[in-house]
Structures are given as C-alpha cells and as structure tokens.
Chain A
Amino acid sequence: MCMPSNHKLFYRFCVVILCILTLIALLPLVLILMASVTDEDTLLANGYAFIPAKFSTAAYLYLIKQHATILRAYGISFLVTGIGTVLSVLFTTMIAYPMAAKNFKYRNVLTFFVFFTMLFSGGVVPSYLLWSSTLHIKDTIWALVLPNYLVTAFNVILVKNYYSNNVPDALLESARIDGANEIVVFFKIMLPLSVPVIATIGLFTALVYWNDWINGLYYISNPGYYGIQNLLIRLMDNIQFLKSGAAGSSLGALSVKLPGTAVRMAMAVTGILPIIITYPFLQKYFIRGVVIGAVKG
C-alpha cells in the first residue's frame, strides 16, 4: 500500500490504541480463567491474580465431583435455549407475515398492537401477576421460555421490514395464482427466502435465552429448574449450594476443604464456555446481526 508518511504514523497509532482497548475488553475474562486454576491457599493469601503463584485444578475437580447439579443446570439452559429459539423464530416470522402483506385488511390494527405494546406496558408487576397467579407457570419449564423474550416487537419489525424490502410481491402472487393457500406460501416461499434475517434473530434470541436469569429470578423457586445463570446467582450467595444438590455426599464432602473462592470463578468459566467455544465460528454472524439490527430497528 502506498501511503504518505503521516498516514502511516496515524495508522500505527490507531493499531496501538485498539490493542490497548482490546486488552481492556479481554483481560477481565483472563482474570477469572486464571483465578479458577489458582490454588485455594494462594488465592486467600494473594487474592485473584493474572499470574497465579501456584496452579491447581482442585476447583474443576470439585465441579466434576458435583456434576449432577451442574449438568442438570446445563441441560435446563440448553433445553430452554432450544425451545425458546425455535418458538420465538416461528412466532415472530408468523406474526410479521400479515404485517407485511399489503392485501391484509387489519394490517394497521395489528401493527398498532405490536408497536403499542413495545412502547407502553403496565410494567413488571401486572405481567408478574398474570404469569404467576392467572396462568400458573411458576416452577415449570415454560416460566423460562414464555415471559419477556418469546416475541419482541423489535424482532417483529426487523423481520417485517425484511419481508417488505427483500421478498418481491410478484413471487408470492404467482404462488397464490397457482393455488397455494397462505400457509403454503408462508412456509414454502416466504421462510426459505428469509433465511438471512431468520439466522440473525435466531442467533440473538438464542443468546438472550442462554444469558437469561431474570425469568428464573421471578418465576423459579424450585432449584431443580435452575438454568446455568440462576445456578451462578445462587452460588454467589451460597457456595454450599453445590453440595446440597448432590444427595448423600454431605458426610464425605464435609471433611474435604471446600475450594470456595476458586470454585466460584470455575463456575463462571463453565457458564460462558459455550459462548467462548462457538464465538470464533459465529462472530461473523454476530457482527452482521449488529449492523442489520441497527440500520433499521
């Protein structure tokens, strides 16, 4: 590349600043990773440090010993993420379909409902009472799937705009002329043509479900339904909780010293593991999704 020398200098300056910012972004993650493999006594003496004086895998060995609780939480989280994402994508694309259809009579009414609920709601208290005392979803798997995230106005608008801008009406019309009803048109033509936007909202919805702890906080009191995030919250309050999950091991576990400080960090690492593993493959789509979502929200 041919650049004037002051451009080159400026370029180097940019790279250096960005390196510093990247370090700030990533170092906190390195700290919890390092803390999770630090020896417990070293931790108590020196605190969390980037370069531990003494390594130890005791925290992870401890987690493996308590695998029943952790695997269950992992299972719940994966299940909720799976069900939630599939249902969310299905409902979002389905409600956006008539909103984008120009020949649909109640289009404006429907659009008004979606918009208005996005901008105005009774707040947390009425929805809490609705879900818990009218629909009785407390302490079921649905409590983690249905409230808050299933259909968000933001996603609906995103999909609707995609339909109107990228799927030609003529295509849908020709299918109708061939005798296809709306359901066939939707599944056979609209959905296959909207794969990019479906991938985007699917990815972000999956992330939202994986990271969700608010539904668990409000609607789950039985620890059997804790996903990984709520297990993490519970562990912060009470490190003993892991033990109580493993039935019958209480007597044996008492004699072993609990590596509480390191275990907490090991749990946090366990919680972000799926994100860290998939991120290198998905980062491209995440970045594209941010741009799509921002251009027209």
Chain B
Amino acid sequence: MFGVFLAFKNFNFGKGIFGSAWCGFDNFKFLFKTSDAFIMTRNTILYNVGFIVLGTVLAIFVAVLMAELGTSLKLKFFQSSLLLPNLLSWVVIAYICFAFLNSESGFVNKSVNRWLGIEPVSWYTEKNAWPGILLFVYLWKNAGYTSIVYLASIAGIDKSIYEAADIDGASRLRQIFSITLPLLKPTVVIMTLMAVGRIFFSDFGLFYQVPMDSGALYGATQTIDTYVYRGLMKLNDVGMSSAAGLFQSVVGFIVVMLANGIVRKTDSENALF
C-alpha cells in the first residue's frame, strides 16, 4: 500500500521509497503531457469494449447451439475441445500466432496468401491488422470458457416452459428467441457488468506476448499494463510507470464500484459485495 506514495515521488533506488524526494503531481503531469497516456487508455478501453460485445455474442451463440445437443457425448466433446485453448499459456499462444503470421515461413503468408495471390505481409510491423488479430486471438482463447458459463445458465431454465411452447407449435428457433434469450438476460447483465468493472485492465499476455513486443505495433497494442511493464523493466522509469499504475488502480476502482452498485440495484443476489 505504501507503494502509492511512489507515484508522487522522484524515485531514487539508492534512497528507497521513503528517502526519495516528493514531487507532487509531476509524474502525472509528465504522463498526461505525452501522447502515450491517451493511446494506452484508448487502446485498453476500446479493446475491452470489443472483447465484451463480441465475446458475449459469440459465447451465447455457442451456448445456444450446445444446449440443443442435450446431455450427449457430443456435447462433452464440443465443450472439451472449445475449452482447450483457454488452458494454454499466452507464451504458447504467441508461438501459435508466430506459426501463422511469421513473415518468412508463416502459414498465412506462405499458404493462404499464395492461394489468394496476395503479396506476403510483414504482420509483425503491420499496425492496422492488429486490432483484428488480437480480437480473434482473444475470442479463440476465451469463447469456449464463457460459453460454458452461459450453457450452465441455459441448463437452469425450467424445461416445462419449452414443453408448453412445443405444444403450442413454436419452432425451435422461435423458442430460442422467445424463451432462451430473454431468460439469459440476467446472466448477461451480470457477466457484462463484471467485465465492465475490469475495463481499465488488460490481459498483459495478450498485448505483450502475442505481438512479440514489436515496437512498430505499439500504437495498436500498447495498453496500460504493457506501458507499466515497459516503463519499469525496460526504461527504468519508476515515476511514470507507477503514476500510470496508480491511475489505472484508482480509475479501475471507481469503475468497479459503479458497476457493482448498478448490479446491486438491479439484482442484489448477484452483486459481488
């Protein structure tokens, strides 16, 4: 906790936290004067919004499909295979991406682009491609996990509602839109609010390992977490780095409290605290 002081100090390794001179809000002033602060905050928020929206839609879609299978062996197979990417570390996923995107021998350049007759692309310097790539990698890793959560929620829906709809002659599609999706709403709201609470935090592995720490991509891949890491370990800029970290903590804390407050208002059962 005392580390909070760091953000307001002109840190000197020799003198330690308490020995270093105070510098008030200078670290923050410097931080927000640079374009870095804007870029990393924008990236963090925009990526998270994309992850929340597309992640939720895809996960519900998969969960609805899986719910159609009942409790069969097929379901187990699909669940297990879709969950598998979630168990891999970001390092291994970075290797997999490298196998696809590497400019000399990557699968995309050597096979896909050759078939399509497109010139090879140097992916690790091509900034504009990365929002799409990161979004895809995120969904690839996490969609299986979230869909299992939604599937559990669908499984909790009272079966007699579906039977009644069957008797009334409703088609399967009709049942999904009129029964499953409306009854999933509370779960979606909770999951989304919890994700919104983490909107100032990014998955360090996704933004650091997957783009291979490539400098040309910083504009598209720099988030608050990678900035803090680079500031601390690569540039040794403790002041800026801890200012960015504290900025993230404080704003993140406010957002979490707000999100939780909203959950508690709508559905106190599901509030975190």
Which residues of chain A have a CB within 8 Å of any CB of chain B?
6-7, 10-11, 14-15, 17-18, 21-22, 24-26, 28-29, 31-32, 35, 43-44, 46-50, 115, 119-130, 133, 207, 210-214, 217-218, 229, 232-233, 236, 261, 264-265, 267-268, 271-272, 275, 279, 283, 286-287, 290-291, 294-295, 297
A14-B69, A17-B65, A229-B89 known; A25 and B6 CB under 8 Å?
A: no
Asked if B186 lies at the interface with its beta carbon under 8 angstroms from chain A, I say no
Which 10 A/B pairs are nearest by Cβ-Cβ distance? A126-B3, A47-B110, A123-B245, A122-B3, A211-B89, A125-B242, A268-B95, A294-B149, A47-B105, A283-B80
Q: Is the CB of B88 within 8 A of A211?
A: yes
A124 near B228 (CB under 8 angstroms)?
A: yes
Closest to A112 in B: B273
Q: Is the interface of B mostly helix, strand, loop or mixed?
A: helix
Residues on A with beta carbons closer than 8 Å to the beta carbon of B92: 229, 232, 268, 271-272
Interface residues of B in 226-273 (CB under 8 A from A): 228-229, 232-233, 238, 241-242, 245-246, 248-250, 253, 256-257, 272-273
Q: Can you give 19 contacting A-B residue pairs, CB < 8 Å?
A: A6-B172, A10-B172, A18-B62, A21-B62, A25-B82, A26-B81, A26-B84, A47-B110, A48-B105, A50-B107, A120-B250, A120-B253, A122-B1, A122-B3, A265-B99, A268-B92, A271-B92, A283-B79, A294-B191
User: Which chain B residue lies CB-closest to A214?
Assistant: B204
Which of A50, A126, A214 has its CB near the most chain B CB atoms (within 10 A)? A126
User: A123 contacts which of B98, B144, B228, B272 (Cβ < 8 Å)?
Assistant: B228
Knowing A32-B99, A123-B249, A232-B92 are in contact, say whether A287-B148 is a contact too (CB < 8 A).
yes
**Which residues of chain A are near B107, meaning CB under 8 Å?**
31, 47-50
CB atoms of B246 and A133 under 8 A apart: no
**B67, closest chain A residue (CB):** A14
Query: Which residues on the A side are within 8 Å of B242 (C-beta)?
Result: 122-123, 125-126
- The verdict on B177 contacting chain A, using a C-beta distance below 8 Å, is no
Quote the shortest CB–CB distance from B247 to chain A (angstroms).
9
Per the bound structure, the CA–CA distance linking A218 and B95 in Å amounts to 20
- Nearest B residue to A276 by beta-carbon distance? B84
- How distant is B195 from chain A, measured CB to nearest CB, in Å? 12
Bound together, the chains give a CA A7 to CA B1 distance in angstroms of: 58
Cβ of B140 within 8 Å of any chain A Cβ, yes or no, is: yes
Q: Across the interface, do A265 and B95 meet the contact criterion of CB distance under 8 Å?
A: yes
Closest residue on chain A to residue B166 by CB atoms: A4
Contact A48 B249 (CB under 8 A): no
> Whole-angstrom distance between the alpha carbons of A264 and B92 in the complex?
10
For B102, the chain A residues whose CB sits under 8 A away are 48
* CB closest chain-A residue, reference B250: A120
Find A129's partner among B17, B90, B91, B109 (CB 8 Å cutoff): B17
Complex interface: chain A residues within 8 A of B82 (CB)? 21-22, 25
Contact call B3/A290, Cβ cutoff below 8 A: no
Residue contact B66 to A229, C-beta cutoff 8 Å: no
Known: A48-B99, A125-B228, A287-B79. A18 touches B152 (CB 8 A): no
Q: Provide the residues of chain A in CB contact with B256, threshold 8 Å.
A: 119
With a cutoff of 8 Å between Cβ atoms, the chain A residues found around residue B68 in the complex are 10-11, 14
Residue of A nearest to B238 (CB): A125
Contacts of A43 in B (CB 8 A): 105
State whether A44 touches B96 (Cβ < 8 A): no
* Closest chain B CB from A48 CB (angstroms): 5
CA distance A210 to B88 in the complex (A): 10
Q: Is residue B38 contacting chain A, with contact meaning CB distance below 8 A?
A: no
Contacts of A133 in B (CB 8 A): 13, 16
A15 to B69, Cβ gap below 8 A?
yes
Q: Counting CB contacts under 8 A, is B173 at the interface?
A: yes
- Say if the beta carbon of B4 comes within 8 Å of chain A: yes
Nearest-CB residue, chain B, relative to A231: B91
Q: Which residue of A lies closest to B171 (CB)?
A: A6
Residue B145 CB within 8 A of the other chain: yes
